[in-house]
Amino acid sequence: MYRQLKHSLMSRLKKTTRIWLAVYPTVLVFLTIFGDALKEFPFPLGVLVSTLVVVIIVSNVTDPLVGKVFYHLRRTFRKPGLRSNAAPLVNNTAPVKRSAPSDN
């Protein structure tokens, strides 16, 4: 049970980190570029516009990009000894090399 709880907590932590790494740079860039223009709008309207744009960018651009980076990092720094996603060999044996039939 402890192992399952630990796995669940680590999974949530990884997901939270991934989302934060997608949202933070997007908000930072958006506010750097459009921050002065948003001051002209009433505050609730400025928040509405900024969240609309940021959510679209995060869900379609930065989150998939961060997901790809996490995937490649996970593959690069995988712990030795862990199984790969490749299909296992039957009975843990290597494929048999067959020779050509003889004419005897």
Residue 17 resides in a domain: yes
Tokens of 22: 């997608």
Q: Is residue 40 part of a domain?
A: yes
- Specify the range with the lowest mean pLDDT, choosing from 23-27, 35-39, 42-46, 77-81: 77-81
Q: What pLDDT is stored for residue 1 in this prediction?
A: 74
Residue 44 lies in a domain: yes
**Is 69 part of a structural domain of the chain?**
yes
In a domain, 91, yes or no: no
The CA-CA-CA angle for residues 44, 45, 49, to 5°, reads: 120
Residues 46, 87: Cα–Cα separation, whole Å:
52
Distance CA 15, CA 57 (A): 18
Q: Which amino acid is at 61?
A: V
- The burial class, CB within 10 Å (0-12 / 13-18 / 19+), for 58 is buried
Question: Averaged over 65-69, what is the pLDDT?
Answer: 89
Its domain, for residue 12, covers 2-79
Number of structural domains in the chain: 1
90 lies in some domain: no
Give domain status of residue 25, yes or no. Answer: yes
Q: For position 57, what pLDDT does the model report?
A: 92
Q: Which residue has the tokens 């001051």?
A: 39
CA proximity to 71, closest of 85, 56, 57, 59: 85
Q: Comparing 78 with 71, which gets the higher pLDDT?
A: 71
Average pLDDT, the chain: 81
pTM: 0.61
- pLDDT score at 84: 55
